[in-house]
Amino acid sequence: MKKVLLISVLASAFLFAGDKISTKQDQMKTMQSLEVAMSTIQKGFLYNNTALVKQGITSLKDNVKNIKSFDIKNDKNREFDAKKYSLAELKAIGLLADQMLTDFEKGDKEVVLGNFQKMLNRCVTCHLLVRKW
């Protein structure tokens, strides 16, 4: 009887651990996809290729949506709401991506580069703030 109970406890522990591993892998995959999207946008700028910029922005916007499912929690003693902050950043990054595409199609390369830098800064800042949680 004790063996059956022990086996069931161990099995449930492994199942829950496997779920967390899967979630972590999904998060890593999403972040890697976002990195590739940013790289694609940058290549589009360098090659002056609107199709590459569009492809990168589309990929970025598709993958940014996946972050909503991340399990972002706060420390108990902090007033900073990491989940709320990350969702606000997602919205801002989406708007910047749309603006970059519009400006790129207009030929405003300096504005596009400035918006790309703003987007990259938002990504880095979010990583610094939210990863602590």
pLDDT tens-digit map of 6-60? 454 444 444 454 444 457 788 788 888 989 999 999 999 899 999 999 999 999 9
**86 or 56: whose pLDDT is higher?**
56
Task: Please state, in angstroms and rounded to a whole number, the distance separating the CA atoms of residues 16 and 18.
Answer: 5
**pTM, full prediction:** 0.73
> Could you tell me the residue ranges of all domains in the chain?
2-130
Q: Which helix (H) or strand (E) holds 34?
A: helix 2-46
Q: What one-character DSSP code corresponds to residue 74?
A: -
What value, to the nearest 5°, has the Cα angle with vertex 62 and ends 35 and 125? 45
Given a cut of 90, is residue 117 above it in pLDDT? yes
**2-130 to CATH, choices 3.30.70, 1.20.120, 3.30.110, 1.10.357:** 1.20.120
b/e code 50-70 from CB counts within 10 Å (16+ = b): eebbbbbbebbbebbebbeeb
